[in-house]
């Protein structure tokens, strides 16, 4: 089953009279259970492509189908709701809420899905234990290391069981050891059937993925399955 | 409870709890001042007049005042009326006053000509000193000399407005007496009767009625004006606490007293201009308070706007992970409510725990009244509601402005 189907996708940024086409007629398909690395040099459009596919931004033209549904006509509220129910995000800078503890950060999307606080806390605790942070539940983000913050972010992204996990350079701000442990975590969740689309610069980590898509100058220049 | 309310509340609580305590304290301080501005400014302005009204009641009319009908100099059937009033269980104190008018003269022994005599017209009132003092506490207003005793004879109290020393504004229509003090002799004239009296004391009060009068013992004034029928000019009665003056007045009218006298509650007897001034001051107070309310609204707007702008990235993250816009808006509305509620609560404590009892015990010394703070609970509750609603709106608008921005732009900090 196609999780994502992108057709003729274009994204143009306008600054005054100046127009910059960041994505140029992209066609792309992601299937259920895949772990895809999107690679390319800076400015190639890889993060922009991920933002369009994950409904964080609107394309200039083209079509995006998520789980067979055309998202073009969705309202902002519908997209927010869709992100909550189907998608998970791991950001480069962790994007944790500074006023909330690790447990509360993970519990927020669960509560938004309608769970009561006690139930959300239980599930959030389980998610944090799964990423090895069972002893850091009550810590604020400022009290966690970079690796721990990223693990918290992954726990938050996975706690509500999304169909696709989007990760935007999840190891960019981490040291080698933390990076390896994060990638190990990705491997584990992928083994359990989680579909992942990950933007990365790191060749080493891209080889862990089943498929690598290379972008350059807003176009896909290669798309191949790896030999894992 | 809707999900967006629950989660909005959850986020608001965390944000307030982990916000800078100084910032939170400052916002609550502003809200407290706004609340006090709303309630106290108008409360003092109204209290300025209310103080005069209450003093008029306490020291002159009491709860009920029975006075002469138009074109009558006395209340017919006074002894019977006094007996009826005194027999009513609601009455806790009563004073009947003989009224007349006349002239007080000074310097009459040394004046070469009649027109050189220092003279002032005044209402004369004959009182039972014990009953009057029990009812109104008038002896507290004797600022010089002594209060009257029941058996005093040829001794009077002069209202301070009759003396130049205390009221140095002499006009042709309102002359005052020079160089008269306690122990001095004055001559009083009632109709054809003249009599020399000694000034036993000076009465000064912010209730003008008391400061204009000349006080005699009831026996002597009755004798001077020839009221052998014991018909008085004024009866004031205090009711036991909890009694309704209006109901009492109705009872007196049903007893037929209205045929012989005018029966009024203290509110009926209150001069109309006082009520007009009170209404005017209340309006003025509300106008001044409204300015404070607008300032507070703008303050909250700015605070929430800056808060939302600086937290724009986190608002974007919340939206990014699927938290709805109205949940985020609700969290800011709850924060605004928290500030308004805390400010109002502290304001209430200051108002009813300190300001109102303190000012009640130590009235503000205005020239024409002892000003109190009028802050009835019902109007205070309305002002709290106004403050809370205004604050919530002032908090909601900037939150909505930020929430409506593009999610990714918020996360990445793009304009």
Confirm or reject contact between B365 and chain A (CB < 8 A).
no
DSSP 3-state of A148: helix
Query: Alpha-carbon torsion B14, B412, A111, A196, what sign?
Result: negative
Question: pLDDT value at position A227?
Answer: 63
User: Does the pLDDT value for residue B300 go beyond 80?
Assistant: no
| Chain A residues near residue B332 by CB distance under 8 angstroms | none
**Which candidate from A89, A104, A111 shows the least CB-CB separation from B320?**
A89
Residue A215 forms part of a structural domain = yes
Inter-residue contact A195 to A30 (CB < 8 Å): yes
Regarding predicted confidence, which is higher, B49 or B156? B156
Residue A143 forms part of a structural domain = no
Q: What percent of chain A has pLDDT over 70?
A: 99
CA distance A143 to chain B (A): 14
**Which candidate from A56, A100, A111 shows the least CB-CB separation from B408?**
A56
Number of Cβ within a 10 Å radius of residue B253: 12
Question: pLDDT value at position B325?
Answer: 92
For B15-80, list the strands marked E by DSSP.
Answer: 64-68
- Would you place residue A6 in the very low, low, confident or very high pLDDT band (cuts 50, 70, 90)? very high
Confirm or reject contact between A161 and chain B (CB < 8 A).
no
Confirm or reject contact between B402 and chain A (CB < 8 A).
no
Regarding predicted confidence, which is higher, B194 or B275? B194
Domain count, chain A: 1
Tell me the C-alpha distance between A182 and A196, whole Å: 13
CB contact set of A84 (below 8 Å; sequence gap of 6+): A109, A112, A113, A160, B321, B322, B323
- Would you place residue B298 in the very low, low, confident or very high pLDDT band (cuts 50, 70, 90)? confident
Which tokens belong to A148?
Answer: 């721990």
- Domain residue limits at A30: 2-97+149-225
User: Which of B38, B2, B74 minimizes the C-alpha distance to B295?
Assistant: B38
**Which candidate from A56, A112, A117 shows the least CB-CB separation from B407?**
A56
**Which candidate from B6, B314, B324 shows the least CB-CB separation from A97?**
B314
| Chain B residues near residue A109 by CB distance under 8 angstroms | 321-323
Give A64-97 pLDDT, tens digit per residue.
Answer: 999 988 998 899 889 999 999 999 999 888 899 9
User: Does the pLDDT value for residue B236 go beyond 90?
Assistant: yes
Q: What percent of chain B has pLDDT over 90?
A: 51
User: Does the pLDDT value for residue B98 go beyond 90?
Assistant: yes
| Chain A residues near residue B322 by CB distance under 8 angstroms | 80-81, 83-85, 87, 109, 112-113, 160
- Would you place residue B233 in the very low, low, confident or very high pLDDT band (cuts 50, 70, 90)? very high
DSSP state of B177: B
Confirm or reject contact between A74 and chain B (CB < 8 A).
no
Tell me the C-alpha distance between B155 and A216, whole Å: 114
Confirm or reject contact between A121 and chain B (CB < 8 A).
no
| Chain A residues near residue B312 by CB distance under 8 angstroms | none
What φ, ψ does residue A208 adopt, rounded to 5°? -75, -20
**Which candidate from A100, A114, A156 shows the least CB-CB separation from B14?**
A100
DSSP state of B69: P
Residue A88 forms part of a structural domain = yes
Which tokens belong to A108?
Answer: 């927020």
CA distance B24 to chain A (A): 15
Residue A9 forms part of a structural domain = yes
CB contact set of B142 (below 8 Å; sequence gap of 6+): B157, B201, B202, B203
B317: left (phi over 0), alpha (psi -120 to 50) or beta: alpha
User: Does the pLDDT value for residue B294 go beyond 90?
Assistant: no
Lowest-confidence range among A9-18, B108-117, B118-127, B315-324?
A: B108-117
Question: pLDDT value at position B206?
Answer: 84
**Which candidate from A91, A114, A157 shows the least CB-CB separation from B3?**
A114
Residue A114 forms part of a structural domain = no
Tell me the C-alpha distance between B378 and B78, whole Å: 42
Query: Alpha-carbon torsion B297, B300, B302, B305, what sign?
Result: negative
* Closest A-chain CA to B411: A95
- Would you place residue B32 in the very low, low, confident or very high pLDDT band (cuts 50, 70, 90)? very high
Number of Cβ within a 10 Å radius of residue B259: 10
CA distance B402 to chain A (A): 14
* Subunit contact A108:B321, Cβ cutoff 8 A: yes
Residues within 8 A of A (CB atoms), B 326-345 only: 327
CA distance B311 to chain A (A): 10
Residue A204 forms part of a structural domain = yes
Residue A140 forms part of a structural domain = no
Confirm or reject contact between B318 and chain A (CB < 8 A).
yes
- Would you place residue B381 in the very low, low, confident or very high pLDDT band (cuts 50, 70, 90)? very high
Residue A121 forms part of a structural domain = no
What φ, ψ does residue A116 adopt, rounded to 5°? -75, 160
**Which candidate from A57, A80, A117 shows the least CB-CB separation from B324?**
A80
CA distance A58 to chain B (A): 10
Place of tokens 């937290």: B311
Confirm or reject contact between A193 and chain B (CB < 8 A).
no
Which CATH number characterizes residue A93's domain? 3.40.50.300
| Chain B residues near residue A91 by CB distance under 8 angstroms | 317, 411
* Subunit contact B314:A98, Cβ cutoff 8 A: yes
Task: Determine which of A55, A104, A112 to mutate to test the interface with B (most B C-beta atoms within 10 Å).
Answer: A112
Tell me the C-alpha distance between B319 and A80, whole Å: 6
Question: pLDDT value at position B3?
Answer: 84
DSSP 3-state of A33: coil
- Strand A35-39: give its sheet, edge to edge: A87-90, A164-168, A195-199, A35-39, A211-216, A219-225
């Amino acid at each position: 089953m196609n999780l994502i189907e992108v057709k003729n996708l274009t994204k143009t940024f306008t600054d005054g009279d100046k127009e910059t086409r960041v994505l140029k007629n992209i066609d792309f398909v992601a299937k259920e259970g895949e772990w895809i690395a999107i690679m390319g040099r800076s400015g190639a459009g890889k993060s922009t492509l991920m933002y369009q596919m994950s409904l964080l931004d609107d394309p200039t033209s083209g079509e995006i189908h998520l789980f067979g549904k055309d998202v073009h006509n969705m309202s902002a509220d519908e997209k927010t709701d869709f992100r909550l129910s189907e998608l998970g995000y791991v950001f480069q800078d962790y994007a944790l809420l500074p006023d909330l503890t690790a447990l509360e950060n993970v519990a927020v999307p669960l509560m938004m899905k309608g769970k009561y606080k006690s139930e959300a806390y239980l599930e959030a605790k389980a998610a944090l234990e799964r990423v090895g942070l069972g002893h850091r539940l009550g810590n604020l983000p400022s009290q966690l290391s970079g690796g721990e913050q990223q693990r918290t972010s992954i726990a938050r992204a996975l706690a509500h069981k999304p169909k696709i996990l989007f990760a935007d350079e999840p190891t960019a701000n981490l040291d080698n050891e933390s990076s390896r442990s994060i990638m190990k975590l990705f491997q584990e969740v992928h083994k359990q059937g989680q579909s992942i689309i990950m933007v990365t610069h790191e060749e080493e980590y891209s080889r862990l993925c089943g498929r690598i898509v290379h972008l350059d100058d807003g176009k896909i220049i290669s798309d191949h399955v790896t030999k894992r | 409870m809707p999900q967006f309310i629950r989660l909005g509340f959850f986020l608001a609580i965390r944000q307030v709890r982990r916000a800078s305590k100084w910032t939170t304290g400052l916002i609550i301080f502003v809200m407290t001042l706004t609340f006090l501005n709303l309630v106290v400014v108008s409360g003092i302005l109204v209290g300025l007049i209310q103080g005069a009204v209450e003093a008029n009641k306490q020291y002159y009319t009491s709860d009920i005042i029975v006075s002469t009908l138009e074109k009558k100099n006395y209340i017919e059937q006074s002894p019977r009326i006094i007996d009826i009033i005194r027999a009513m269980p609601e009455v806790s104190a009563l004073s009947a006053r003989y009224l007349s008018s006349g002239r007080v003269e000074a310097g009459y022994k040394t004046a070469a000509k009649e027109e050189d005599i220092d003279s002032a017209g005044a209402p004369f009132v004959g009182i039972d000193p014990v009953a009057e003092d029990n009812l109104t506490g008038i002896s507290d207003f004797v600022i010089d000399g002594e209060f009257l005793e029941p058996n005093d004879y040829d001794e009077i109290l002069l209202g301070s407005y009759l003396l130049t020393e205390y009221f140095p504004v002499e006009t042709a229509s309102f002359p005052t007496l020079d160089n008269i003090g306690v122990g001095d002799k004055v001559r009083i004239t009632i109709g054809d009767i003249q009599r020399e009296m000694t000034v036993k004391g000076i009465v000064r009060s912010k209730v003008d009625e008391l400061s204009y009068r000349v006080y005699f013992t009831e026996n002597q004034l009755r004798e001077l004006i020839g009221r052998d029928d014991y018909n008085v000019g004024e009866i004031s009665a205090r009711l036991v606490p909890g009694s309704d003056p209006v109901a009492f007045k109705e009872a007196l009218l049903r007893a037929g007293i209205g045929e012989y006298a005018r029966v009024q509650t203290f509110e009926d007897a209150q001069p109309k201009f006082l009520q007009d001034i009170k209404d005017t001051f209340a309006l003025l107070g509300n106008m001044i308070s409204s300015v404070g309310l607008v300032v507070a609204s703008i303050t909250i707007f700015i605070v929430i706007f800056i808060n939302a702008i600086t937290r724009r990235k986190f608002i974007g993250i919340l939206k990014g992970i699927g938290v709805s816009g109205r949940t985020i808006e609700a969290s800011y509305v709850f924060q605004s409510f928290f500030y308004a509620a805390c400010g109002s609560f502290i304001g209430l404590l200051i108002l009813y725990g300190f300001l109102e009892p303190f000012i009640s015990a130590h009235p503000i010394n205005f020239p024409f009244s002892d000003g109190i703070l009028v802050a009835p609970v019902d109007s205070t509750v309305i002002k709290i509601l106004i403050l809370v609603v205004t604050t919530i709106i002032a908090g909601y608008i900037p939150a909505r402005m930020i929430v409506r921005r593009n999610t990714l732009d918020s996360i990445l900090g793009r304009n």
